[in-house]
Structure 1
Amino acid sequence: MRCCLNSLVLLSAFAAVPVAHAQDGATSPRPPAQDGGIVVTGKAQPPIKKAQRYIRQVLDTEDGQLARFVDPVCPLVLGLPARFKGAIEDRVRIVGAAASVRMGKDKCEPNLMIVFADNADSLLDTMRKQGNAAFTNLDDNALRDAFAAGPIHAWRLVVTRDEVGHLSTGNDDPDYPPVMEGETQAVTINAVVVMDRHVALGKSVRQLGDYVVMRTLVGARPPAKGSIASASILSLFDPNVAPPPAEITDMDIGLLAGLYRMRNPYEQGSDQAYRISRTMVGGKQH
């Protein structure tokens, strides 16, 4: 199923427009030593109700399970000059690894793609008309996320995997569903973010990389209405938040690390969210 992103690579090579006028001062990465100092546990632990409210705002915890990557994550950025492209990919790797996400080695096959395009809506419309394979096996919710009009499109291919590795997508034939063995978990196979280049201008690679981490590795999204319960990089493009966070916040990191350090991936999403919220305030998952 990873190969579904290959056709997006080919299309994006023509449709994505490099951000040629980005300012080095606004988008250049900081020294690697600073990025390597991410503290996943966070400095200030929030009250549990605040953590739970934040999770409810950015994740759907009632429908199924919370999905996460199981295979190593391999990020690829398209549509930016090389100095920015590599910096964002590195940032995704650094933050992911600090939160116990398995990251792929060099020259791995991409399963997390970030595309900067002249017009994201136009690119998605072209992809849809051409039947691009990047949409293969997506369920209705993921398709809705992919085609929702706006400067940023983000979606994930999530499947159900049983204890012996058998996969089931959301589009299985209801009359002939696959036979699953034992307990099952929601697994992210690949994730895509397509972003208008104009919204990226003036943002740092740290901000863009951290925003992508939360949208893809976690599947989080900014609330449709109202502000998030706590400071979050998901507010990066919210015009009502000024200034936006300079990087991923303690609350964001707590959710990311809690998800990827979750001991029982077979519980329902509401139970998983509760256990993650406990770790965010210094408790333990049981």
Structure 2
Amino acid sequence: MRTRLRLTSLILFSAFGVSLAHAQEAAKPAPAQDGSIVVTGQGLKPIKRAQRYIRQVLDVDDGQLSRFIEPVCPEVIGLPDRFKAPIENRFRIVAGAASVRLAPETCKSNLMIVFADNADALIETMRTRRNPVFANLDEGALQDAFKAGPIHAWRLVVTRDEAGNMTNSGTDTDPDNPPVMEGDTQAITINAVVVMDRKVALGKSVRQLADYVVMRTLVGARPPAKGSIAAPSILSLFDPAVTPVPGEITDMDIGLLAGLYKLRNPYEQGGDQAWRISRGMASGKQR
């Protein structure tokens, strides 16, 4: 059964923690876009640097790397329309350039970008009211969702076999009646959510905010320990120890994003997937 993130499941966002009157400050209008991406950084990186970067932002040893296979439909909540559209448009530009499948603009959202006055308070209210946005999340995703801080980001990830059926990794298999054959499986992202305090978004540009969310949702990347980043990354956007802060998605970021969504074999283990992606990043073949 497909699980889609619906706007109705996030209805609390309009009633708790979101201040539209002051949200105008949360993003700056984006400059005119021509459909292209200009990345920043220092050109091609050696494979060792790419591998270190990937290991800093992803847990490559915990199963497979997950990605969306259904078309992605981003939606911004909690900002006036004049800021929502530029963020959504920038998100689509970056995602499209990396071969991510995108749904038409009139679509049911499966990726939410929420700006709130108090992200912790909003999440706690939703948790208390058993909001369905937390349904079916595994323990790791729930920890990401409930971890205190100005930014909460999580994804619903499932495992499917080659026929498209959801699997349970054998946890409920009858040992006296095992399946005759077991096919390959892949980790698939069904939906993703980012809830961000309005105050931390102040002073950030549309490009910065959209590009940061791209990496958190489409890749599932996390900011590394403060000051430990192997290369310039938009994931350092909110790290006070990093200067200067990248103005947009960087070479390393776009290399990881494109590499993940251009993987030809989605059934490999995370370590093997990361190795292939790092080789593409080092050679520049992802772009």
Asked whether the two chains share a fold, i.e. TM above 0.5, the reply is yes
Distance 2:94 2:3 in 1: 22
Offset, 1:126:
0.6
Offset, 1:42:
8.1
- Equivalence for 2:19: 17
- 1:158–1:169 Cα contact (<8 Å) kept: no
- Equivalence for 1:55: 54
Look up the SS of the partner of 2:154 in the other structure: strand
- Mapping of residues 260-275 of structure 1, within 5 Å: 260-275=261-276
Offset, 1:261:
0.3
Moved more, 13-22 or 211-220: 13-22
- Equivalence for 1:93: 92
Distance 2:193 2:109 in 1: 10
Look up the SS of the partner of 1:27 in the other structure: coil
- Mapping of residues 1-286 of structure 1, within 5 Å: 1-15=2-16, 16-18=18-20, 20=22, 22-23=24-25, 27-33=28-34, 36-38=35-37, 44-168=43-167, 174=172, 182-282=183-283
> Are residues 191 and 284 of structure 1, via their aligned partners in 2, closer, same or farther at CA, if it must alter by over 3 Å?
same
Alignment gaps of 5+ in structure 1:
none
- 1:259–1:276 Cα contact (<8 Å) kept: yes
Alignment gaps of 5+ in structure 2:
none
Distance 1:241 1:43 in 2: 16
**TM-score, with normalisation over the residues of structure 1?**
0.91
Deviations 1:190-246 (A, max 9, x none): 000000000111100100000000000000000135421000000000001123100
Offset, 1:55:
0.1
- 1:72–1:103 Cα contact (<8 Å) kept: yes
**Letter matched to residue 191 of structure 2:** N
Offset, 1:135:
0.8
Distance 2:118 2:245 in 1: 23
- 1:275–1:284 Cα contact (<8 Å) kept: no
**Letter matched to residue 131 of structure 2:** N
Distance 1:113 1:253 in 2: 21
**TM-score, with normalisation over the residues of structure 2?**
0.91
Offset, 1:284:
6.3
- 1:116–1:197 Cα contact (<8 Å) kept: yes
Offset, 1:22:
3.9
Offset, 1:57:
0.1
- 1:18–1:81 Cα contact (<8 Å) kept: yes
Distance 1:103 1:266 in 2: 22
> Are residues 173 and 67 of structure 1, via their aligned partners in 2, closer, same or farther at CA, if it must alter by over 3 Å?
same
